[in-house]
Amino acid sequence: MDFQLTDEQRALKEVVHDFVAREVRPRARHTDEASEFNWPAMRKMGPLGLLGLEVPEEYGGAALDAISVAIAIEELGWGCGSTALAIAAHNGLGLGPVVAYGTEEQKRYWLPQLTSGEGKLACLSLTEPGAGSDLKDGVRTRAVVDGDSWVINGAKMWMTNASISDLMVVLCRTGDRGSHALSHILVPSDTPGVIIGPPEKKMGLHGSPTHAVTFDGARVPRENLLGTEGRGLAQTLATLDSGRVGIGALALGLAQAAYEEALKYSKEREAFGQPIANFQAIQWMLADAATEIEAARLMVYKAAWLKGLKQPYSTMASMAKLFATEVSERVCRNAIQIHGGYGYSSEFEVERMYRDTRLMTIGEGTSEIQRLVIARHILQ
The residue annotated as part of the active site, out of 23, 294, 364, 368, is 364
* Terminal-residue alpha carbon distance, the chain: 28
What is the C-alpha separation between 279 and 294, in angstroms, rounded? 23
Beta bridge partners of 184: 171, 226
What is the C-alpha separation between 184 and 170, in angstroms, rounded? 5
Helix (H, G, I), strand (E, B) or coil at 61: coil
What is the C-alpha separation between 336 and 197, in angstroms, rounded? 34
Ramachandran sector of residue 47 (left: φ over 0; alpha: ψ -120 to 50; beta: rest) = alpha
Cα three-residue angle 72-65-52, rounded to 5 degrees: 60
Residue 267: other Cβ atoms inside 10 A: 13
Residue 70: other Cβ atoms inside 10 A: 29
Decide if 243 contacts 307 (C-beta within 8 A): no
Q: What are phi and psi of 210, to 5 degrees?
A: -130, 135
Provide the 8-state DSSP code for 164.
G
Verify whether residue 118 is a known catalytic residue. Answer: no
Which burial class, exposed, middle or buried, applies to 288 when counting CB atoms under 10 A from its CB (0-12, 13-18, 19+)?
Answer: middle
Q: Write down the H helix ranges in the chain.
A: 7-19, 28-34, 39-48, 66-79, 81-88, 96-101, 104-115, 135-138, 232-268, 280-308, 314-339, 349-357, 367-379
Active-site positions read 364
